[in-house]
Amino acid sequence: MEAAAAHPRPALTADSVLPEDAGRAALVARVHDPEAGGPCVAAVRGEDVVDLTAVAPTVSGLLERDDAVEVVREAPGGRRWRLDDLLSAQPGRPDVPHLLAPVDLQVIKAAGVTFARSLLERVIEERTGGDPAQAARVRERVVRLVGGRLDGIRPGSPEAAKAKDLLVAGGLWSQYLEVGIGPDPEVFTKAPVLSAVGTGADIGVLRASVWNNPEPEAVLVVDSRGRVRGATLGNDVNLRDVEGRSALLLSRAKDNNASCAIGPFVRLLDDGFGIGAVRDLDIGLRIEGPDGYVLRGSSSLREISRDVLDLVSATHGAHHQYPDGFALFTGTLFAPTEDRKNPGEGFTHEYGDVVHISSPRLGALVNRVVPSEEAPPWTFGVGALMRSLAGRGFL
């Protein structure tokens, strides 16, 4: 594949990334500010982004406050930036202000296999051993023998147990079916704290991967008490060939440099945007290739197999606590099967692809695909954040 550097970065504006009802939304951003020497917690207010770091030094800390919505809407702020200026800046450059992923100390978790359609694609990956050349043949057999058995089944129900018995008897049971319709969901750690990239940044795919795709998802932002405080968009970049060889390679498939994108902002839950609105989110996907290729798709949380609060409970509780909260990818309905090049091999990324993930209530997350090995290295971790905040007198 041609080097991504030969292709332009996506051009972003406030109009292109804000939610359609931004004037009514409580939106949290993070900004890299070279004058401050590090990241700033900020609120989006109209065309401006307002520094709130003196009030809440971290997004994690802000979301622990019961008055987080009021702080974002009304607290006096420090420095202001024009949102268009932040969006036009090149992410990763230390000398210019730019947007970052809007979470910081939260652990980045992900729930997998939460939609029936993507569940079958995971089974197909497993059955092909990660070989895209076998995908069409295996897909036809799996869909014919498995697909109808899963319609309308609630995971963990007696009906799901009966379906499992039938599939085991037919030699078709899979570890993916276990987490798709069994009693326990798949929840894994997607990426290290502070490693996610934001809107406008490059996202990474390993050079060695020949079968991969974006995973457009809603991301819940949860506090230390297990309360969903907000939602945003995410791209849980997936290497289908790697995970297809073995589920034990999940970390290799999921956690690479720049392989997790979150943004553009965290929309806080309030009277006009509650958990019901989250359950009703529609998520759109558009991929624009450097060769003029275009792929469109969509995902709706109305079709999710497990309720989003059930996913939160599976992550947080007496069995596991998160003192700084967590961001939880909720899974995707999107599983591209359209051939991009060779017949039967389905979709895979080309370097230079621009991935648009959008939702009317959350805005747009836009990233360009590059090799993970060429993405800006991850250098700013927890220690750097603590030193930065201490140096500014916030700790």
Q: Tens of pLDDT along 313-332?
A: 999 999 999 999 999 999 88
Res 119: pLDDT: 67
Q: Say how far apart CA 123 and CA 250 lie, in whole Å.
A: 14
Q: Say how far apart CA 114 and CA 335 lie, in whole Å.
A: 12
Q: Tens of pLDDT along 214-234?
A: 999 999 999 999 999 999 999
Res 240: pLDDT: 85
pTM: 0.91
Q: Tens of pLDDT along 5-38?
A: 567 888 899 999 999 999 999 999 999 999 998 9
pLDDT of 258 > 70? The answer is yes
CB 266 within 8 A of CB 230: yes
Q: E strands of the chain, at which residues?
A: 27-33, 38-45, 48-51, 80-82, 98-100, 107-112, 186-191, 202-205, 212-213, 216-222, 228-236, 238-239, 260-268, 282-288, 294-300, 326-329, 354-359, 363-371
Q: Say how far apart CA 83 and CA 63 lie, in whole Å.
A: 22
Q: Tens of pLDDT along 109-118?
A: 999 877 766 6
Q: Tens of pLDDT along 37-85?
A: 899 999 999 999 999 999 999 999 999 999 999 999 999 999 999 999 9
Dihedral, CA atoms, 255, 258, 260, 261, nearest 10 degrees?
180
Residue with tokens 């989250």: 278
**Residue 82 Cα distances to 8, 98, 272, 339, angstroms:** 23, 10, 26, 41
Res 260: pLDDT: 98
DSSP letter at 45 equals E
Q: Tens of pLDDT along 289-302?
A: 998 999 998 889 99
